[in-house]
Amino acid sequence: MSVVRLLHFRQFKSFALLSGLVGLALTCALPFAPALAQSDYPTKPIRVVVPFPAGGTTDMLARLITQKMGESMGQSFIVENVGGAGGSIGADQIAKAAPDGYSLLFHNLTFSTTTSSLQYAGRSRHDIQKDFVPISVGAYVPMLLLAHPGVGAKDLKEFVAIAKSAKDPMFYGSTGPGSVMNFTGELLKRDAGIKLDHVPFRGAAPLVQELLSGRIQFGGDQLSTSLQHAKSGALRPLAVQSATRSPALPDVPTVREQGFTFLELQGWNGFFAPAGTPDAIVQRLHKEVVAAVKNPDVRAKMELVGAEPGGSSQEEMSAMLREQVGKVKPVIEDLKLIVQ
């Protein structure tokens, strides 16, 4: 072999060896690239969609919890209110967002009813159990059923008795078709055999105002929405829909205590990420939610508005959602509740 050919051959072998080593290094590094990116999370602000207007219970809790999370994680949490269709418009945005931990959803019990309602109507663009990863419940807030004092009912049993004897239907308000109160009102009509006419509102604030005025006689929302009115006597608290009484209103019985077990639903407000979000990021967010709701200042502010700190595991939250959707969905199909 000539000297020139020998030099070329050696250069080729050196280049091939170098290329192989570089390729091997890149191949070995690839599996670690996502892990490195996730370990740096978060590197930019995190968007949190609240699918209701600003100023309500869910909005307030989202801002309270994420402020503390932002302090701990060193990044801003930007709460964005995207209302409409019982919360489904905001939820749909997050279902379609990149699963990178920078787009989250903070929803409440209405998620179980509106999603089931839209699926029944064939108009749902997302599935609460398939398109989202539950992170943790931020707070438990029971649904509170209320009446105008002029009705004369001291509790839900008395309200039903009065409604049965009334010549004309009473009006009940909800935060919109497919909402928890719409579900509750229609279920009460069916199973308690009373006459009620539905008046939907675009949020809890106008519902409470109409209830205070007496233009509607019955309604309800998360306890925090009307706690001050219930305590002052401006509205009459009839029952909480949770399994146990609320520490904020210990004298108000549960629906189960009054014989209306079919109305029992656990109220909650919790965090979700889009399906496909890396588990390392979800676990980091879960850890931060739990730490935030354990903070004494956060807990004290929650208790002032009748909320109980959450911090559930992912498994606990998933089991709760499965149970609620399993209970709600067949009833919504039977009642033919449709989100407008």
Per residue in 101-133, pLDDT tens? 999 999 999 998 888 887 877 877 888 989 999
Q: Which residue matches tokens 């663009």?
A: 125
User: What residues in the chain have per-residue pLDDT under 50?
Assistant: 2-19, 21-22, 24-30, 32-37
Residue 199 bridge partners (DSSP):
173
The predicted structure's pLDDT at residue 267: 96
The predicted structure's pLDDT at residue 38: 54
The predicted structure's pLDDT at residue 177: 86
Q: Could you tell me which CATH number the domain at 45-141+267-335 has? A: 3.40.190.150
What are the φ/ψ torsions at residue 268 (nearest 5 degrees)? -155, 160
Give one DSSP letter per residue of 122-148, joined into a string.
T--S--TTTSEEEEEEEEE--EEEEE-
The predicted structure's pLDDT at residue 205: 86
Contact between 114 and 339 (Cβ < 8 Å):
yes
The predicted structure's pLDDT at residue 95: 96
Please list the residue range(s) of the chain that carry CATH number 3.40.190.10. Answer: 143-263
Nearest to 135 by CA among 312, 11, 253: 312
The predicted structure's pLDDT at residue 204: 86
CATH topology of domain 143-263: D-Maltodextrin-Binding Protein; domain 2 (3.40.190)
Q: Which residue matches tokens 């060193």?
A: 74
DSSP helix/strand/coil, 6: helix
The predicted structure's pLDDT at residue 340: 64
Please list the residue range(s) of the chain that carry CATH number 3.40.190.150. Answer: 45-141+267-335
Q: First vs last Cα of the chain: how many Å apart?
A: 85
